[in-house]
A and B are shown apart, each in its own frame.
Chain A
Amino acid sequence: MKKLKLIVSLIILTFFSLFALFPIGYIFAVSFKNNNSFQLSSFQIWTDSSSFDNYIKLFTETQFPTWLINSLVVSTSVTLFGITLAAFAAYALSRFPLRGGPTFLLVLLSTQMLPATMLLLPFYLLLSKFGLANHYLGLLIIYSSTALPFCIWQLKAWFDSIPKSLEEAAQVDGSTRLQAFFKVILPISGPALAVTSLFQFMTAWSEYAIAAIILQDSELFTLPVGLKSFQASLATEWGLYAAAAVLVSIPAVLLFTLLSKALISGLTMGSVKG
């Protein structure tokens, strides 16, 4: 009976693992092929005719390097800008009895209910008015502001779990309120800041719809927009597309690995006590 259960669960798990892994393997296989076709003759990732030609071509004959840098710049600035705003806002909401604070938090959350695609047109019109269309600053503002409510909620939950007496002790010890925040609260908030930053970074890194509307100049494209442009030409360059897709996922994988320790403690945030 027990054995049967084990076998059944193994089968189910194998099926779903394959289902999840197959596309990734497929993309790898296509990225190593030279004929720009999306069809595979076999399920081998690496065959005799495989090569790194697509990767080399990506860096030498396309604008991929520019897009990569664009994406890194945009995502990093969004993360730094967003996390700074979110940390201060969340701390204030956690510690100061603001009039209408709870209502404000709910309103903040309710903005998350509108999908960003619904707001595409208004966003675009607004940015054009301010001359920020086709400009990173516009993207930065939209990305930070759409991710901000979630980040504030997340960080507020963390700050709420830190006993107030820690800052009070610091204040009695001679620090100002702000010093207490920087010297005591922020240093023990590593896990929460890591989770929130990662969320900010990933949102910006993989966003397509807004970037596609705002950025018209291929010099300014971020990676998702750039990648899509491979399809737009007469014949889609599947090999290039696949190679780029593989490369795009590398920073994400790296970040997750680097932050994994902080992430695990950050995901169980409420249970951690200062």
Chain B
Amino acid sequence: MASVQCSHINKDFGQHHILKDISLDIKSGEFLVLVGPSGCGKSTLLRTIAGLESPTQGDVLIDGKSVVHLQPRQRGLSMVFQNYALYPHLSVHQNLGFGLNLQGLPQVEINSRVKEVAELLQIQHLLDRRPKDLSGGQRQRVAVGRALVRKTDLILFDEPLSNLDAALRSQMRFEIKKLHQITGSTIIYVTHDQVEATTLGDRIAVLNQGVLEQIATPCQIYSYPNNRFVASFIGTPEINFLPGKFFGRPEAEVGIRPEAICAKEDGQLEAVVEMQEYLGSHYLIHARINGFALRFISEHCIPEGNNRQIKLKVDMAKLHFFDKATGARIS
């Protein structure tokens, strides 16, 4: 098991300041998800930890030892790349064994480790194939296998599921979570998909334009977002923002999760229903209050009539207040 610390990491590419003073503490055995919109610097941070980029400033420590001056191969970690990066000239077996070969392990040992991992990932029947003869999902498994087979204490994932279709993605998500429980390795997992983040992570680090906005458990992030950005980025359907004047807090902006709103006769807000989306188990209702858009979830379809005027009740305990200017949370 390995713990990872990033301390005051800054990274510039030419004129562009990509990572801005990022400090992170990842516990041994933890599954940490780095999430944020595309282009925010997630991969850069991950690659800095891997040693594929060096920070302009700051330090990376693995198990308490600074590794910024070490090559990737000396850091004792493995990595799954977004485009899988399988060696095209090698068979699946050789792909898996590549790192073990470099370590100089005896062939018998290599074969048994490869076999073990292949069984774990159910790719035993693919061992003789070349990467070009595999489907996307199979390549993905091989890429994960190549990282697992070296039994490193730290495994890095860079958007490993983004090239898969939805069904495969949710299955692999489940399997990666299971693999974490089996191996117990520390995992740092990069994604732009907040569903992946909340389902996989022990903790989530939300990154925005190179700034670490918040790091906390999925539940804490969802219930107590640090600022407006985190509140809007985590959670589907997205949180609603209304001017504070509706709640007597003109200095603030109010965030209301869709599930904190329901249609009730004795509701305190008047709204007009614009559209209803049927989502199987529930409806997503699009409404307006004095021209401000509001989405909420309802188990039932809102009946037509009354010009679609309805009354909404808001769970006041679940409101989030954010400073209008800075976006920071006001408690």
What residues make up the interface of A, taking CB atoms closer than 8 Å to B? 163, 165-166, 168-176, 179, 183-184, 187-188, 274
Contact = CB atoms under 8 A, between A and B. Distances in A.
B52 A173 contact: no
A274 B130 CA distance: 12
18 contacts: A165-B82, A166-B87, A168-B72, A168-B81, A168-B85, A169-B81, A169-B85, A169-B86, A171-B72, A172-B77, A173-B146, A173-B150, A174-B99, A174-B150, A175-B102, A183-B98, A188-B87, A274-B88
B72 A172 contact: yes
A174 B88 CA distance: 18
Contact of B79 (A169, A175, A184, A274): A169
A179 B79 CA distance: 18
Interface string B36-69: 0000000000000011100000000000000000
B101 to A, nearest CB: 9
Contacts of B122: none
A229 B102 CA distance: 56
Contact of B73 (A163, A171, A274): A171
B83 interface: yes
A262 to B, nearest CB: 14
A176 B73 contact: yes
Chain B residues touching A, range: 20 to 34
A166 B85 contact: yes
Contacts of B98: 170, 173, 183
Contacts of A176: 71, 73
Contacts of B86: 169
B99 A173 contact: yes
B79 A172 contact: yes
B89 A188 contact: yes
B50 A173 contact: no
Nearest to A190: B89
A188 B73 contact: no
Contacts of B82: 165
B227 interface: no
Nearest to B103: A174
A54 B87 CA distance: 53
A174 B105 CA distance: 13
A84 to B, nearest CB: 20
A174 B89 contact: no
Interface of B: 50-52, 71-73, 77-79, 81-83, 85-89, 98-99, 102-103, 146, 150
Contacts of A187: 89
Contacts of B78: 172-173
Given A168-B52, A173-B150, A176-B71, 17 more contacts: A166-B85, A166-B88, A168-B50, A169-B81, A169-B146, A170-B98, A171-B72, A172-B52, A172-B72, A172-B73, A172-B78, A173-B98, A173-B102, A174-B102, A179-B102, A187-B89, A188-B87
Nearest to A168: B52
A165 B102 contact: no
A117 B222 CA distance: 75
Nearest to A174: B102
The CB with the most chain A CB atoms within 10 A, among B51, B85, B89, is that of B85
B52 A171 contact: yes
Contacts of B150: 173-174
A101 to B, nearest CB: 15
A165 B73 contact: no
9 closest Cβ pairs, A-B complex: A173-B99, A165-B85, A169-B85, A174-B102, A171-B72, A174-B73, A187-B89, A165-B81, A172-B79
Nearest to B104: A174
B132 to A, nearest CB: 10
Given A170-B98, A172-B78, A173-B98, A165 B83 contact: yes
Contact of B87 (A170, A171, A172, A179): A170
Q: Max chain A CB contacts within 10 Å: which of B51, B81, B103? A: B81
A172 B50 contact: yes
A184 B102 CA distance: 13
B249 to A, nearest CB: 49
A274 B132 CA distance: 9
B45 to A, nearest CB: 15
Contacts of B71: 171, 176
Nearest to A166: B85
A171 B89 CA distance: 17
A174 B146 CA distance: 12
Contacts of A179: 102
Contacts of A172: 50-52, 72-73, 77-79
Nearest to A273: B88
Q: Considering residues A165, A166, A173, which has the most beta carbons from chain B within 10 angstroms of its beta carbon?
A: A173
Contacts of A174: 73, 99, 102-103, 150
Contacts of B50: 168, 172
A163 B88 CA distance: 11
